[in-house]
Structures are given as C-alpha cells and as structure tokens.
Amino acid sequence: MLNIGAIKEGFVLDHIKAGKAMTIYHDLRLDKLDCTVAIIKNAQSSKMGRKDIIKVECSIDYLDLDVLGFIDHNITVNVIKDEEIIEKRALKLPSQVVDVIKCHNPRCITSIEQGLHHIFVLTDEKTETYRCKYCEEAARKRD
Amino acid sequence: MALKHLMSPLDLSVEELETMMDLADDIRSHPEKYAHVCDGKRLATLFYEPSTRTRLSFEAAMMNLGGTVLGFSSADNSSAAKGESVADTIRVVSCYADIAAIRHPKEGAPLVASMKSLIPVINAGDGGHQHPTQTLTDLLTIRNLKGHFEGLTIGLCGDLKFGRTVHSLITALSRYHNIQFCLISPPELRVPSYVIEELKEKGIPYAEVVRLDEDTMKGLDILYMTRVQKERFFNEEDYIRMKDFYVLDREKLEQAPKDMYIMHPLPRVNEISVEVDDDPRAQYFFQAQCGVYIRSALIMTLLGLAKEN
Ligand SMILES: [Zn+2]
C-alpha cells in the first residue's frame, strides 16, 4: 500500500467507504485545523474491495471524533502515540450532531431562520434514530 | 418549579401538572384572590399567524391576573414581514415584556425563541408540531368533569390523522393508569402509525372504529370531537366527503350514555350540531373557559408567582 509515512501522534481512520474521505474531512472540520492530514483514496481492502483512509497528525486529546459514530460506525479509529497504535477506539453514537446534516422538513423553522445550527438529537439508541431538535423530524441517513 | 419555558405538554411531569391544575382550579373558585398577582407584569403575544381564539385566551388569562398585554396578531403587520428573525424579535421583546406566548407556522420556532430569550416563552402552537396549552386545557377540563384520569375511556372522533391536538392528548393521557382509547375516524383519517406503536408499546388498550353509533359510545367517559380541516386536503372533493362524515346531533346523542361528556377544541364546523349545545353533556364552552384558567396558572408558574402550597 502507498505509504505516507508514519505518524508520531494522531489518528488513522481506516475502513472509510471509498469516496467518502473528503466528506468526513469536512465533517471533522479538519479544514479548519493546521495539522498535517493525509487522505488516501481507493486503497485496496480485503474486506471492502476499495476503501478510503485518513491520517491526522495531531495531539490525541485534540480531535473530537464522536461524529464518526453517526456517519458510519464501521470506520476503524486507530489512536497513535510514539508511532505505535495504542488503542483501537470503538465508535459510539453521539448524543447529538451539530451542522453535519440538514433538516429536510419544509415546515421546520430551520428552513427560514438565518443563523441556526442544524442540531440532531439521538432519541432512540436501538433504532439509531436522530431527530431534529426543532421540529422532531427523523433524520435521513446520508449515503 | 424548575420550568422555564413551555414547549411541549411533556415538559411537565405528572406531579408538576397536578400542581398547576390545582392552581387553575383555585383561580377558578377564587378569582378575587388572584386579581392582582400580575400587577405591573406584561405578556407579549407574538402571533406570526392568526389564531384569534388562542390569543384572546392568553390575553384574558393575563388580564384576570391584573397584568397587561402587548403584541401582534399576524406576521404581515409585524417585524417578521420586514424579515426580522425570530431570535432577534424575542431578544427585543425581552426588553418590553415579562413573558411571551409565541405562535408560528414553522415547527420549532418557539424553541428557537426560548433559546435566545431572557424571559419565559410559551409555545402557543407551532405548525403541526405542538400546541401544549391546548393539551393542558383538555386535561384540566377532563379532570374537572371526571375528577381524575385513572380508568377513563376516552373516545376521539374525526380527523385523527392530521389533528395534532389528538396526538398530544393521547400521549399526555397515556401517562395515567388504566386509560383506554376509542379511536373513531374514517379509514382515510386514522391515527398515524407512530401513535398506535406508542400505545402498543405502553400496553394501553385501544380500539379503532369507523362508525359513531350507540355501540361505540357505550362505555365512553369522554367523547372528544375534532374538526376536519380544509387546508389538509389536496382536493375539494375529498374534503367535502370527509367534513360531514360525523355529525353529532340530538338524535345521535340520545344513544349516548348519560355521563359521557362532549369536548371539542373549537372552532367547530358541522361535526357538532348547535342543538346539542344545551345538553348538559356538551362541555366545549366550559373547555374554552378552562383554557383561560390553565393559562393563568401557567403564566403564574413561569413567572415564579405560584406559591407552593
Ligand atoms: Zn427540523
């Protein structure tokens, strides 16, 4: 596999669905940070055929990865310290997600009011249902 | 009470609700005791869509407590017409009033206001989403008529599909013991499946029937009638077919139990014939009166003026 060099401290996000790395790059607000980020597209995967990988060099307390649990919990999070994997972090469903998806209900206040955050709240863990904080419409999962 | 705003009827626990209804009852029996509790206080009624009944009920509720009211009654003569956001409007209104009641056609607008507000906000109806003071009104009315909620069989009749008051009332009543529902509607206007799921999950007995006849009314403690709303239908033909599906007239009422009270959120169209109004079982005007008492109690509670007795 193409090697972008080892990371001293940071994260390797593996098993991202092929083609989704850039979306996740934005969801994690990596564009707002000045740390080194490597995005690998269409890597070979025995499990998935093709997959994307993101490597982030940053302090491991720095990045909030909760949103990944909402986006796709098949993503594997490897936590790297001193160039070694010290943890394979399991993704759990975040209690809420902010500005990742938009409410599609045309009767929702978010459709007309400026400056509102799009907030979705986990209302049912079993069915992984998220609802708009304002109108309670169920979220449509993004593909 | 920790309650700051009222967005949904479920913002209140069963105990908090009991306390508020006790206060409403006391206001009803001793109005003079409460005639000045809100002296110098102002209620802002911010109605982005017209709803004269609800607005007047809020205004009467505040005036009965000695308070005053200000506000607007539709979006076109307000700042909203000039494009001001709900968030900005409430911040400005926070400087003029002590409490606000907001009605808005968009779902969640009162919540947005409550997040930015310095004063308590009451949801006075947000599109098809919530209308908590209607639910509180219904509960107070039932408690006054029957004395309690336990073991009651509640019949709900008419448009059960789009009628949000019905859905909220079912959810609110589901918190009491041994409650049963009889859901009476044309097949096209049955309650949505999520309401049925909720009832099944809580193990609450219910029946779905189409006809409003002697058999259906037998055993009902309350018959809650609703109006079929024209704006819910895509074509005139369907509306016309549905609107006269149920008509409660004197003849029909003769088949009903002697202690079955009739409620309706008003305004009515054809579903309750005027000749029924004089029947002692017809309680929809009393219900409108209860709406004022519970809103007074709510205003006092949110302003921190309800003493714990
Ligand atoms: Zn929404």
Q: Please give the structure tokens belonging to residue A5.
A: 């060099």
B65-121 pLDDT, tens digit per residue, is 999 999 999 887 666 667 789 999 999 999 999 999 999 999 999 999 999 999 999
Provide the CATH number for the domain formed by B9-130+291-302 in this structure. 3.40.50.1370
Q: What ranges do the domains of chain A cover? A: 9-89, 96-132
Q: Does B131 participate in catalysis according to the annotation?
A: yes
For residue A136, give the nearest of B87, B106, B129 by CB distance: B129
Residues with Cβ within 8 Å of residue B20, at least 6 apart in sequence? B12, B136, B294, B297, B298, B301, B306
Tell me the pTM. Answer: 0.89
Q: Does B82 participate in catalysis according to the annotation?
A: yes
Q: Is A132 on the interface with B (CB under 8 A)?
A: yes
For residue A113, give the nearest of B112, B127, B128 by CB distance: B112
Place of tokens 């943890």: A87
Q: Which residue in A23, A22, A14, A28 sits closest to A75, CA to CA? A: A14
Whether B9-130+291-302 shares its CATH topology with B132-288 is answered yes
The Cα angle at residue B188 between residues B182 and B193, in degrees rounded to 5: 60
B165-201 pLDDT, tens digit per residue, is 899 999 999 999 999 999 999 998 999 999 999 999 9
Which of A139-143, B159-163, B199-203, B280-284 has the least mean pLDDT? A139-143
Please report the pLDDT score of residue B1 as a whole number.
Answer: 54
Chain B hits for A136, Cβ within 8 Å = 107-108, 129
Q: Does B53 participate in catalysis according to the annotation?
A: yes
Q: How many CB atoms lie within 10 A of CB B205?
A: 11
What topology does CATH give the domain A9-89? Alpha-Beta Plaits (3.30.70)
Please say whether the structural domain B132-288 has been given the CATH code 3.40.1350.10.
Answer: no
Please report the pLDDT score of residue B165 as a whole number.
Answer: 87
Q: Please give the structure tokens belonging to residue A99.
A: 């500005």
Q: What is the mean pLDDT of chain B?
A: 94
Please report the pLDDT score of residue B309 as a whole number.
Answer: 45
Q: Which residue in B212, B210, B208, B209 sits closest to B251, CA to CA? A: B212
Please report the pLDDT score of residue A24 as a whole number.
Answer: 93
Cα A110 to ligand 1 centre (Å) = 6
Q: How far is A106 from chain B (nearest CA, A)?
A: 9
Q: What ranges do the domains of chain B cover? A: 9-130+291-302, 132-288
The size of the A-B interface in CB pairs under 8 A is 49
Q: Does B227 participate in catalysis according to the annotation?
A: no
How large is the ipTM? 0.88
d(CA A54, CA A84): 16
